[in-house]
Amino acid sequence: MIWFTEYWTENVGLTVKAHEVKRIKSKYQEILVLDTPEFGKMLILDGLVQTTERDEFIYHEMLAHPALVMHPQPERVLVIGGGDGGTVREILKHPSVKEVHLCEIDEEVIIVAEKYFPTISEKLRDPRVKIFIEDGNEFLQERKGYYDVVIMDSSDPVGASEVLFKEPFYQKVKQSLRENGIMVAQTESPVLQEKYFAGAYREIRKVFRNVGVYLAYVPTYPSGMWSFTIASDYIDVKDTSRNRERVKELKTKYFCDNIYACLFALPQFVQEILKKS
Ligand code: SPD
């Protein structure tokens, strides 16, 4: 057994006792798989926890479903990042979806996910899924007016992922959407990463007319309080009276009709952060 710590800041972190299952260095990052008593297997990239068998459903459901439910009829969906496959699995719960493109820069993440995280990656080989091993920023250059929903399932905004949290990237996302298109991004913790959280909101608002922020509780992410930012030029993304009947048809463990109904209920301090952004 080893002790592993993800440092959330210089002063606080998440420490778990674990068996080391696999450690490899890919072209882009160190990929580590741990097996822990409480969270099951954990996928860690460059020292940062990406997903765990125990709580992955919370993040993946909350990242995928709100945007897919709000869209009148999502058929073509793009995921940038998300090589573990959890977001793809959730997207395919929506019967209208015909095509999912997954753009992941690091093929090793997919290989590791398929070997060690079969319940998360189980839909990656579905015939509706096409995998592109490419840089998300470059990939979008070629796609104009194609997607109904674009989902940023990125790692934290450090190193190669930093560009995915900036205005020029969101402009490309916007151009890749067709009419009624919606985008959603994971946007870090308002508690421990206020700078990144507020920064992403500011950049997204420069590009899209309608923007909303919602939260979920993800135990293994910094502070546990995690944010998602959803945006569209066509759809009032804060109107959660739309398509509520579709939520009831989804087989989920966290996302549900009550959560959808009050998706944008934010704690006062989070509202304050957004107001001054
Ligand atoms: N600090 C962790 C943020 C990770 C967000 N992406 C995770 C990818 C899981 N599909």
> Within a 13 Å sphere around the CA of 112, how many CA atoms are in the beta-carbon half?
26
Provide the CB-side half-sphere exposure for 50 (13 A, CA). Answer: 28
48 lines ligand 1 (CB under 6 A): yes
- pTM, two decimals, is 0.97
Q: For 2-52, which CATH class?
A: mainly beta
Top-tier CATH class for 56-276: alpha beta
Give the β-pairing of 76-81 and 147-153: parallel
154 CA distance to ligand 1 middle (Å): 6
Question: What Rg value do the Cα atoms of the chain yield, rounded?
Answer: 17
Asked whether the beta carbons of 222 and 198 are under 8 A apart, the reply is no
Question: Angle 86-161-139 (CA atoms, 0-180°, nearest 5)?
Answer: 75
**For each successive 10 residues of the chain (277 residues), what is the average pLDDT?**
97 98 97 98 98 98 98 98 98 98 98 98 98 96 95 91 94 98 98 97 98 98 98 97 96 98 98 97
Strands 76-81 and 99-104: parallel
Q: What residue's CA is closest to ligand 1, atom 7?
A: 50
162 C-alpha to ligand 1 centroid (Å): 14
Name the active-site residue from 55, 84, 106, 153. 153
Handedness of CA 236, 237, 241, 247 (dihedral sign): positive
- Look at the block and give the residue holding tokens 């606080």: 12
The sheet carrying 48-52 orders its strands as: 2-7, 13-25, 30-36, 40-45, 48-52
Question: Residue 217 corresponds to which amino acid?
Answer: Y
Q: What is the pLDDT of residue 113?
A: 98
Distance CA 114, CA 125 (A): 10
Sheet bearing 99-104, strands edge to edge: 129-133, 99-104, 76-81, 147-153, 177-186, 225-232, 210-217
Residue 127 C-alpha to ligand 1 middle, in angstroms?
Answer: 25
CB 31 within 8 A of CB 22: yes
Element spanning 182, H or E = strand 177-186
Task: Determine the pLDDT at residue 158.
Answer: 86
Question: Could you tell me the end-to-end alpha-carbon distance of the chain, in angstroms, rounded to an integer?
Answer: 44
Closest residue by CA, ligand 1 atom 10: 82
57 Cβ below 6 A of ligand 1: no
Among 153, 162, 189, 223, name the best residue to mutate to test ligand 1's pocket (greatest count of ligand atoms within 8 A of Cβ): 153
153 carries an active-site annotation: yes
105: tokens are 């820069």
pLDDT value of residue 106: 97
Spell out the domain ranges in the chain. Answer: 2-52, 56-276
- What is the pLDDT at residue 272? 98
How far away, in angstroms, is 156 Cα from ligand 1 center? 7
Residue closest by Cα to atom 2 of ligand 1: 50
Which helix (H) or strand (E) segment is 225 a member of? strand 225-232
Predicted local confidence at residue 105, as pLDDT: 96
pLDDT at 165: 95
12 Cβ contact partners less than 8 Å away, ≥ 6 residues apart? 192
